[in-house]
Amino acid sequence: MPMTRPSRALSLFSFCLMCAALVVVAAGKPQDAGQNAPPPSSTPPAAPAAQNQAPPPVDADTCKICHEDNYNSWANSPHWKTTYDTRGGPLKQGCETCHAPAAAHASDPTNQSLLPFTFDKSEPKDINARCLTCHATGTEAMHLTESVHRLSDVSCVSCHSIHHAETKEYLLAKPQPELCYTCHLQQKAQFNMPFHHRVNEHLVQCTDCHNPHGTVGEHQLRVSATQSVVCYKCHEDKQGPFVFEHEPVKTEGCVMCHTPHGGPNPHMLKTSNVNLLCLSCHTTSFSNAPGAPSFHNQAAQYQACTLCHTQIHGSNFSSVFFK
Ligand code: HEC
Ligand code: HEC
Ligand code: HEC
Ligand code: HEC
Ligand code: HEC
Ligand code: HEC
Ligand code: HEC
Ligand code: HEC
Ligand code: HEC
Ligand code: HEC
């Protein structure tokens, strides 16, 4: 922020007085400038009139005179629809919805102290607050308040660009997954492993599994249509219910045995050898899982357990998952 809020209010105020003759006094409502609005108590007591002399709204066509490119990108985006918001009035329409009242700037554009709200020089929390004046509701946005991204100071404009979006849909600053890889290098490496969900091939997207705006659960994970683990969204056949469930699928979940992104092992298993995975639980000494019967050869090189126990995610016919 180049200057403090009260001084900005003062300069706006004196500007208003100077061109009082030109000012179309808006509805007599105090200005609704979101984060930039000085708290009412900071208004100097000697200037009660300021409350009624909110800067006149400037319509987008006026800004267009000097910012044609920005005007065009806005006019070709979904934000153009705010023009129809007659209920919200001028402050919910056009450029000022995001850039704050800018009448002073429009008449004295080179005055650095009168610049409108700019996104590259602002704090993440101020940016978020500005966007959230309109985007705080809806199922996608429901968890914005507890979003890991928001709590980590990743603001809306880290992922979205209003004037220079690279995607037709959702105004993304970059398409997925490149957008996410700019910060998540570890995950980038995982999706480059030999066995992976085909995210780089654009068959599956990060946002199929995650909601970058936050979710109730851990890791910003989405859930399936039945509010169960996200994996069932696409792997319905693994959900059952089965007459004979394999307990860990239901209790520990898919990521007990699989890496969700990708890894070096076939079927994205956590171990290089299926038998090691099974034997990590099926040993008599360690868990509530029964040990493999004594006629099994316990050597890791023994035939793959899943050669016989094929229905490892659950079965309707065999308590030992043969079919
Ligand atoms: C008469 C021409 C003119 C008009 C009208 C005008 N601007 Fe500007 N605007 C400028 C100029 C020139 C600058 C560059 C100022 C500087 O950096 O010194 C600027 C800078 C800006 C910036 C900051 C850019 C940055 O990244 O630093 C924003 C945002 C902006 N204008 C928005 C608006 C909006 C919104 C309106 C309409 C309410 C508007 N302008 C009307 C000339 C104008
Ligand atoms: C929905 C919010 C929003 C609206 C509406 C909006 N802007 Fe912007 N503006 C931004 C953001 C965010 C940036 C930072 C760059 C970006 O993300 O594209 C920006 C950047 C700018 C800049 C700096 C130069 C640049 O391209 O980065 C100017 C000038 C500007 N806007 C003018 C306008 C004008 C003129 C309008 C109306 C025609 C307008 N803006 C409407 C959000 C908005
Ligand atoms: C004045 C209200 C308002 C503000 C402020 C606002 N938006 Fe929007 N936004 C809208 C409306 C209205 C739509 C169109 C919704 C629709 O198409 O149904 C929209 C659509 C979007 C979309 C969806 C685009 C698509 O292709 O579906 C994104 C992303 C978005 N806004 C991001 C932002 C960001 C980021 C900010 C802050 C820089 C912001 N908005 C500020 C009103 C607003
Ligand atoms: C970490 C990146 C990221 C951040 C931060 C982020 N978004 Fe998004 N947003 C996305 C992606 C990716 C999509 C597309 C979702 C999809 O593909 O399902 C999206 C979609 C949207 C949409 C359209 C979908 C809808 O109807 O809700 C809106 C509106 C939106 N974001 C607004 C915001 C606002 C406002 C903020 C800041 C409070 C924000 N986003 C922060 C990545 C992000
Ligand atoms: C098939 C579903 C799926 C896809 C696609 C997916 N993720 Fe994940 N992601 C998960 C699951 C499940 C976890 C939780 C892992 C756990 O509990 O051990 C997770 C965890 C994470 C974490 C937390 C740290 C970690 O690795 O455990 C980050 C960050 C993450 N994912 C980012 C991404 C990014 C970025 C993309 C796209 C490039 C992506 N994810 C695509 C399912 C997915
Ligand atoms: C500007 C940087 C940035 C971008 C872009 C970004 N993230 Fe993040 N993300 C972070 C930070 C910082 C955190 C919190 C620290 C951490 O867990 O790494 C985070 C956390 C997450 C987590 C939660 C990890 C956990 O364990 O709870 C997931 C999931 C995630 N991001 C997915 C995505 C996806 C999907 C995208 C693309 C749509 C994306 N991120 C884009 C910076 C970013
Ligand atoms: C958006 C849909 C989608 C979601 C959600 C999803 N997957 Fe997948 N998954 C696929 C597709 C498509 C394939 C086929 C991959 C291919 O052919 O590249 C696949 C393949 C797999 C494979 C088999 C790999 C192989 O080599 O045989 C495993 C294991 C897997 N997914 C586990 C999971 C887990 C665990 C989750 C939850 C964290 C999950 N999937 C969520 C779409 C999804
Ligand atoms: C107890 C460990 C374990 C758990 C838990 C588990 N899997 Fe598997 N999964 C395996 C093994 C082992 C294979 C390889 C089977 C083979 O070698 O034929 C496999 C293979 C797969 C495959 C590819 C072959 C096929 O059957 O389609 C998919 C997809 C898959 N698992 C998805 C899931 C999903 C989704 C979940 C969670 C609902 C899950 N797995 C939970 C052990 C497990
Ligand atoms: C995370 C621990 C875990 C892993 C890994 C695991 N299991 Fe299990 N398994 C269990 C538990 C717990 C039971 C349920 C025992 C019960 O019902 O008393 C079970 C049950 C079984 C049963 C049925 C036993 C019976 O008497 O009904 C078979 C067969 C089996 N598992 C085979 C395997 C195979 C093959 C693998 C490797 C692909 C495997 N398991 C991996 C924990 C695990
Ligand atoms: C050549 C086929 C074959 C292979 C390979 C195989 N099993 Fe079995 N498994 C069986 C048979 C047969 C039974 C007994 C079924 C019955 O009791 O009806 C059995 C039973 C089990 C049981 C149930 C024990 C109980 O007390 O209920 C477990 C656990 C088990 N196997 C684990 C494994 C593990 C772990 C591996 C890999 C190291 C493995 N099996 C490999 C054929 C095999």
Shortest-distance ligand to the CA of residue 304: 10
Find residue 195's DSSP bridge partners. Answer: 263
Domain ranges of the chain: 124-220, 238-308
H/E segment holding residue 16: helix 5-18
Half-sphere exposure of 151 (CA within 13 A, CB side): 9
Q: Specify the pLDDT at position 17.
A: 36
Measure 262 CA to ligand 10 centroid, in angstroms: 28
- Tokens 């500005």 — which residue? 130
Query: At a CB cut-off of 8 Å and minimum separation 6, what does 184 contact?
Result: none
Q: Which pLDDT tens digit goes with each residue over 220-243?
A: 999 988 888 999 999 999 998 999
Structure tokens at 150: 């928001």
Is residue 195 within a helix (H) or strand (E), and if so which, with residue range?
A: strand 195-196
Distance CA(183)–CA(53), nearest Å, equals 45
Question: Residue 44's pLDDT is what?
Answer: 39
For a substitution probing ligand 2, which of 99, 115, 164 has the most ligand atoms within 8 Å of its CB? 99
Angle at CA of residue 177, ends 174 and 178, nearest 5°: 50
Q: Is 312 in the pocket of ligand 8 (CB under 6 A)?
A: yes
pLDDT of amino acid 45: 39
Q: What is the pLDDT of residue 268?
A: 98
Q: Find the 252 Cα to ligand 10 centroid distance in Å.
A: 21
Ligand 9 atom nearest the C-alpha of 244 is 27
Cis before residue 45, ω within 30 degrees of 0?
Answer: no
* DSSP 8-state symbol, 36: G
Ligand 2 atom closest to 164 (CA): 18
Residue nearest to atom 28 of ligand 3 (CA): 170
Each residue's pLDDT, cut to its tens digit, for the chain (323 residues) gives 333 333 333 343 333 333 333 333 333 333 333 333 333 333 333 334 444 567 788 999 999 999 999 999 999 999 999 888 878 777 788 999 999 999 999 999 999 999 999 999 899 999 999 999 889 887 777 777 778 999 999 999 999 999 999 999 999 999 999 999 999 999 999 999 999 999 999 999 999 999 999 988 899 999 988 888 999 999 999 998 999 999 999 999 999 999 999 999 999 999 999 999 999 999 876 567 888 887 787 665 678 999 999 999 999 999 999 99
State how far the Cα of 155 lies from the Cα of 34, in Å rounded to an integer. 16
Tell me which long-range contacts 205-210 makes (C-beta under 8 A, separation of at least 24): 205/176, 205/177, 206/176, 206/177, 206/180, 207/176, 208/233, 208/234, 209/260
Instruction: Please report the pLDDT score of residue 37 as a whole number.
Output: 38
In order, the DSSP letters of 71-124 are: HHHHHTSGGGGGGG-TTT-GGGSTTHHHH---HHHHHSTT-GGG----STTS-H
pLDDT at 314: 97
Ligand 9 close to Cβ of residue 290 (< 6 A): yes
pLDDT at 286: 56
Question: Residue 283 has what pLDDT?
Answer: 84
pLDDT value at position 253? 93
- Alpha-helical runs (H) found in 152-198: 156-159, 178-181, 185-191
